[in-house]
Amino acid sequence: MTAAPVRPAWTVLGIPVTVGPAPERIPAAVHSGPLCRAWADGYRFHLPTVGLFSVERHDGAVALTGDAATGKSAVAGALGVRGHAVLADGALPIAHTTTGPVAEPADDGVQLWPDIARRLGLGGGAVIRPRLAKRRHRFAAAPAAPLGAVVVLRHGGGARDPVARPMNGPAAVRALAHLTAGRPLVPAFGATAAHFAWCTRLAAAVPVLELRRDPLRDDLTALADAVASTVPGMSTVEGR
């Protein structure tokens, strides 16, 4: 059976969305975009996140996610200067495999505001686009790695020594569903059931933890320590 050619269907936020009918099984994706990649037999969704990887012990990856302006990139930068490699900043592809979920590399740079970069002792960084003060700072690149945990950063209620606390099953699934990149487009692709299955499978496979950040204290070192503690051996990586 031969698939019809994949063709542009419409543009969403300036991004061309392509769709096409799928045969019973094909080797290549029939849809590829910022939301997910889709095959005839499954979907691979992305979390809007920074993915970090323990470069020396290779114990696994941690996905640091959350709503906008919760400090994901700042905490990732604090971990990056300790020597942790970066898998992605923006959207982290996560694939379910026979051995468990795998975080896949997408970008080794982290976008940071100048004040955060100065606090971390980083240089000027690369321009992302004109008139945007944020700069892209590159860290060590990471290969695909087993996903060890998902940490959801949230504002408010942070303790003096913040701790990543496990979320129960329903709360974890709701958080993953809410935080999937391009979530509003899921129903448009007819992927609601596949997305729910992806979220429940991910929540069952790895710990999903909530880390509350006190914006008045804003202790990047303590937050980075809390994230590093979620994957065994991650906190042992030496600085660059």
CA distance 128 to 134: 7
Residue 33, token pair as written in the block: 């975009």
CA angle 215, 78, 218 (to 5 degrees): 15
Are the C-beta atoms of 77 and 111 separated by less than 8 Å? Answer: no
Tens digit of each residue's pLDDT (9 = 90 or more) over 110-129: 989 999 999 999 988 999 88
Q: What is the pTM of this model?
A: 0.74
Instruction: Summarize the chain as % helix, strand, coil (round to 5).
Output: 25, 35, 45
CA distance 120 to 103: 26
**Structural domain spans, the chain:** 46-234
User: Percent of the chain scored above 70 by pLDDT?
Assistant: 69
| Rounded (10°) CA dihedral 166, 167, 173, 176 | -70
Pairing of strands 100-103, 31-32: unpaired
**Out of 101-105, 106-110, 157-161, 194-198, least confident range:** 157-161
CA angle 204, 207, 209 (to 5 degrees): 130
Tell me which residue of 77, 80, 78, 107 sits closest to 91, measured CA to CA.
107
Tens digit of each residue's pLDDT (9 = 90 or more) over 3-15: 444 444 455 445 5
Q: According to the CATH classification, is domain 46-234 in 3.40.50?
A: yes
